[in-house]
């Protein structure tokens, strides 16, 4: 009886593990945690993979038959289950909610206030130009990356110097406080930070990696030919995490 039960456990193990991985993947999609892990371009593949794993689990149970040979010892079976299930449990329980401020500092590059900025395409540049044509008396809604893009164009700097802007981002402390957003190309493993410096009435105290809603005047001071985008803050308040916490180039 016990040997038969052991044989059945060995038989269902692959289906259980595939189903468990599928459940973790579907849960990550449904609760929105995937937004912190993967570029929108690739998220549909996670759903497809989860469905495929469920189908394979069902096919295994329907088509495969357990071997009549003597099963391994209980300790070997326990080891097999642990090797299969520990990664599933770790993926579902231990995955981080966000990238830390330490990761941001380690992945930063370039001058102060500008880190990890990719080359943005013509569409982004066009969107920035459209914002420049809006009412100058109303704070222009912008992303941190828009301000960095503007800092690369002398013509756009002339249009936006002193312009009131409204930006949402993560607070990053340091010698000079910064407002930061993570840029994701593929997944959280390749995410890089882009940031702008903040001066003025920042208020607080704010914590690192806290989402802030910032209003202020955009400035683009140049030091030895290197332009650093800044926001002279006139209003700062805490806000909720956006639906898409990462920006995509």
What's residue 223's pLDDT? 81
Structural contact between residues 214 and 169, judged by C-beta atoms closer than 8 angstroms? yes
Structural contact between residues 178 and 113, judged by C-beta atoms closer than 8 angstroms? yes
Name 227's bridge partners: 222
Of the ranges 52-66, 146-160, 199-213, which one carries the lowest mean pLDDT score?
Answer: 52-66
CATH 2.40.50.140 maps onto the chain at 101-247
- Per residue in 127-166, is it b (16+ CB within 10 Å) or e — as a string? ebeebeeeeeeebbebbbbbbbbbbbbeebbeebeebbbe
pLDDT at 242 exceeding the cut of 70: yes
User: Residue 189's closest CA among 89, 24, 42?
Assistant: 42
Structural contact between residues 202 and 236, judged by C-beta atoms closer than 8 angstroms? yes
The CATH code of domain 101-247 reads: 2.40.50.140
Give mean pLDDT, residues 56-67.
75
User: Residue 77's closest CA among 5, 16, 10?
Assistant: 10
pLDDT at 99 exceeding the cut of 70: no
Helix, strand, coil percentages, rounded to 5, for the chain: 45, 20, 35
| Better-predicted residue by pLDDT, 114 or 202 | 202
User: Residue 228's closest CA among 194, 185, 187?
Assistant: 194
Query: Cα 47 to the chain's mean position, in Å?
Result: 18
What's residue 132's pLDDT? 60
Look up the pTM and report it.
0.64
Give mean pLDDT, residues 116-132.
55
**Maximal CA-CA distance, the chain:** 83
């Amino acid at each position: 009886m016990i040997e038969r039960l052991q044989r059945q456990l060995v038989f269902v193990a692959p289906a259980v593990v595939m189903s468990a991985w599928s459940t973790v993947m579907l849960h990550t999609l449904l609760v929105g945690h995937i937004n912190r892990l993967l570029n929108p371009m690739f998220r549909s593949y996670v759903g497809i993979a989860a469905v495929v794993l469920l189908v394979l689990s069902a096919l295994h149970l329907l088509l495969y038959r357990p071997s009549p040979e003597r099963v391994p010892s209980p300790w070997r079976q326990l080891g097999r289950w642990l090797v299969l299930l520990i990664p599933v449990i770790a993926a579902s329980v231990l995955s981080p909610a966000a990238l830390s401020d330490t990761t941001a500092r380690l992945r930063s590059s370039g001058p102060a206030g500008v880190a990890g900025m990719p080359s943005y395409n013509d569409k982004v540049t066009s969107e920035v130009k459209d914002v420049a044509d809006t009412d100058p008396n109303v704070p222009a809604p912008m992303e941190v990356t828009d301000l960095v893009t503007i800092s690369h164009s002398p013509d756009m700097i002339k249009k936006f110097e002193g312009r009131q802007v409204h930006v949402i981002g993560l607070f990053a402390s340091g010698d000079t406080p910064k407002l930061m957003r993570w840029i994701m190309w593929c997944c959280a493993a390749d995410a890089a930070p882009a940031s702008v410096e903040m001066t003025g009435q920042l208020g607080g105290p704010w914590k690192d990696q806290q989402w802030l809603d910032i209003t202020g005047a955009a400035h683009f001071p140049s030091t030895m030919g290197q332009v650093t985008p800044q926001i002279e803050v006139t209003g700062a308040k805490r806000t909720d995490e956006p639906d898409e916490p990462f920006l995509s180039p």
